[in-house]
Structure 1
Amino acid sequence: MTLRIDSSAQAHLDGAVNRWLEQVIGRAILTDAREYVPKRSGRLAESLRAEVHDKVLRVGSLDVNYATDVEMGTSPHVILPRNKKALSWPDADHPVARVNHPGTRPQPYLRPALYQRRSG
C-alpha cells in the first residue's frame, strides 16, 4: 500500500508543523531559557530568539558573541591586548602585557530548557 499526499495538503501540513514548532515548542523553550540564563546585565536573556524555517526550530542568540561561552564554559586561556601594548581595567594596579585567565565554568541555560519534559 502506498500513501500519497498531494502537494497542497503537504504545504498545509508543513505550515501546521512550522506554526506548532514556533508557537508551542519554540515559545516554551525560549521562556525556559530566558528563566535559566544567568543575568548580569540582562543582555544575553534579551538577545534570545526562537525561529523556524522548513520545520527546523532554532533557539539561541544571534547577536551576543559570548552566548556559547556562558552555556559551555571556557578553558584556561591567555588574554592579550589587540590595539594597545598593555591591558588595563578599573581597579588594576598597573597595565599588564597579558592575563592568564583561569577559564569559566559552564552555566547551561539552553540545554536545560531544551530537555524539559513537555506535553502538548
Structure 2
Amino acid sequence: MAARAVRLDPSARRHVDAAIGRWMELLGSEILNDARQFVPVDTGRLKDSLDAEVHDKVLRVGSRDVNYCLYVEYGTAPHVITPRNKKALYWPGARHPVARVNHPGTRAQPFLRPALFQRRSA
C-alpha cells in the first residue's frame, strides 16, 4: 500500500503555536497560584514578587526581583558572614560589634518545586 502525502494548511503552525501559548499561560497561572500558596511568608515581599511569563513557548515561574528566592527554595549551607563596608558587624540586640559570624545555614523551604509538581489535567 502506497503512503499518502498529507498537506497541511500553511497557517496550521500559527494556530498550533497560539494554542500552545494559551495552554502555557493557563499552566503558568496554575503553577503561580500554587507557589503563592506554598511560599513561606515573613514580610510578604517574596510572595508579592512571584510572577509567571511565557515567551517563545518557554514558561518561567519565579521571583521578579527578590534575590534570596533560591535560598528559601534550596536552603543554605553553614557559612561565615563578614562585614563588607565596615570593620565589624553590629545589629540591634548584639552585645558588641563582631568581626565575623558563623551562620549555621538555613533549612530549605521549597515552594516552587512543589507547585511545579502538582498533578494537573491537560
> How far is the alpha carbon of 1:7 from its aligned partner?
4.3
Equivalent AA in structure 2 for residue 28 of structure 1: E
Q: Give, in whole Å, the separation in 2 of the partners of 1:4 and 1:76.
A: 61
Which is higher, the Rg of structure 1 or of structure 2? 2
Equivalent AA in structure 2 for residue 80 of structure 1: T
- Count residues with an aligned counterpart: 119
Which of residues 102, 108, 114 is equivalent to 1:106?
A: 108
Q: Percent same amino acid among aligned pairs?
A: 67
Residue in structure 1 matched with residue 76 of structure 2 by the alignment: 74
Q: Give, in whole Å, the separation in 2 of the partners of 1:79 and 1:28.
A: 38
5+ residue gaps, structure 1, are: none
Q: Give, in whole Å, the separation in 1 of the partners of 2:7 and 2:70.
A: 42
Residue in structure 2 matched with residue 61 of structure 1 by the alignment: 63
Q: Give, in whole Å, the separation in 1 of the partners of 2:71 and 2:9.
A: 46
> How far is the alpha carbon of 1:4 from its aligned partner?
5.7
> How far is the alpha carbon of 1:101 from its aligned partner?
0.3
> How far is the alpha carbon of 1:10 from its aligned partner?
0.7
Question: C-alpha deviations, 1:3-60, integer Å up to 9, x for none?
Answer: 56454221221111111111x2111100000000000000000000000111111100
Residue in structure 1 matched with residue 119 of structure 2 by the alignment: 117
Q: How much is the aligned-residue C-alpha RMSD, in angstroms? A: 1.4
Residue in structure 2 matched with residue 13 of structure 1 by the alignment: 16
Moved over 3 A (4+): 1-7
Q: Give, in whole Å, the separation in 1 of the partners of 2:61 and 2:81.
A: 30
Change (3 A) 1:92 1:17: same
